[in-house]
Amino acid sequence: MTALLAPIVAAQTAISNKFPYLPKPMWINIAIVVIALVIVVRLWRSLRAVNDYAPWFVAALAGSMIFFYWVYERTEPRFLTPVVDQLVNFLPTKPKHERDLEKLRRSRD
């Protein structure tokens, strides 16, 4: 039985030995995620105290703002690219905006 557990224990100690050697940016990212989670949970609870629908309204507003940012900058996740390709015809994007500005500059010259 101990012969079967030895590789598992050895693997766990090998993983735990790598924690101190994680790069500093990785620890910073982990700290940012933990802080963001605490803020989101506290904000959700405080909005829930105001109204049952308030946190959902804020979440929908934040999600739509992130989505429109992705459409404008064209930094959407790969799985959303087909949807964003269809929406580009109706919504402004940064490359289209820059082309329009360049066209206006040329017409003035």
Q: What is the pLDDT of residues 13-55, one digit of tens each?
A: 656 666 677 788 888 998 999 999 999 999 999 999 999 999 9
Q: What percent of the chain has pLDDT over 70?
A: 82
Query: What pLDDT band is residue 89 in, cutting at 50, 70 and 90?
Result: confident
pTM here? 0.62
Q: Give the pLDDT of residue 88.
A: 83
Query: d(Cα 27, Cα 20) in Å, to the nearest integer?
Result: 10
The type of residue at 70 is: W
Domains of the chain by residue range: 9-50, 53-109
What does the pLDDT average to over 78-90? 88
Give the range with max mean pLDDT: 11-20, 36-45, 69-78, 97-106.
Answer: 36-45
Q: Residue 12 above 80 pLDDT?
A: no
Which residues neighbour 47 within 8 Å (Cβ) at sequence distance 6 or greater? Answer: 54, 55, 58
Q: What is the mean pLDDT of residues 88-101?
A: 85
